[in-house]
Amino acid sequence: MVLPVRVIMDPPTRPLERADAIVVFHGDYGERLDHAIELAERGFADVVVASTGAGGPWPGNVHCGQRDPVEIVCRLPRTASTRAEAAMFAAMARQRAWTEIIAVSSKEHVPRVRANLARCYDGRVTTAFVPRRGRLTLAAVLHEWLGLLDASTLRHWC
């Protein structure tokens, strides 16, 4: 289990390049969206699309609908899952003819984000992550590892 845990704890990354959009996977207290907005303001994209997760109260909601200096679109996926978010982002990418996106999540979530986007989106994906709030628990590592296993081997659909 050492190799799979390392993939989650220290996922490989590559330098960010300009993309058509930055997509934000839900699961924090707004830090992911804040990081995505910062990347967009630095010129990496003109639009940020954020998943609102289950649709409840979320600090990032205050940015939804913003258009200046970057467009911020918030969407509710059909279910609160990484797979549903990936499908939602891929559908929007097809509608808007995006060929490259930057996906923002937490460091340990990045491998599962990549696996799910690979099932749904044909364009280029670069990932960026924000540090986790608090300590990473064994339960969280196990959750990500099992989710990655599911996305990579068990479910071959978007």
Q: Which amino acid is at 60?
A: G
What's the angle, vertex CA 29, arms to CA 26 and CA 35, rounded to 5? 75
Q: Token pair of 44, please?
A: 């990496």
Residue-wise pLDDT tens digits, 78-89? 988 899 999 999
Residue 158, pLDDT > 50, answer yes
Q: Token pair of 84, please?
A: 């549903």
**Distance between CA atoms of residues 44 and 12, nearest Å:** 20
- What pTM, to 2 d.p., does this model score? 0.83
Residue-wise pLDDT tens digits, 94-141? 999 999 999 999 888 888 899 899 999 999 999 999 876 777 677 777
Place of tokens 């969206």: 33
Identify which of 148, 153, 138 has the alpha carbon closest to the alpha carbon of residue 105: 148
Contact 116, 17 (CB under 8 A): no
Instruction: State the DSSP H helix or E strand holding residue 146, giving kind and residue range, or none if neither.
Output: helix 138-149
Residue-wise pLDDT tens digits, 49-58? 999 876 667 7
3-state secondary structure of 124: strand
Instruction: State the DSSP H helix or E strand holding residue 80, giving kind and residue range, or none if neither.
Output: none
Could you give the domains of the chain?
A: 2-154 (3.40.50)
**Distance between CA atoms of residues 10 and 141, nearest Å:** 12
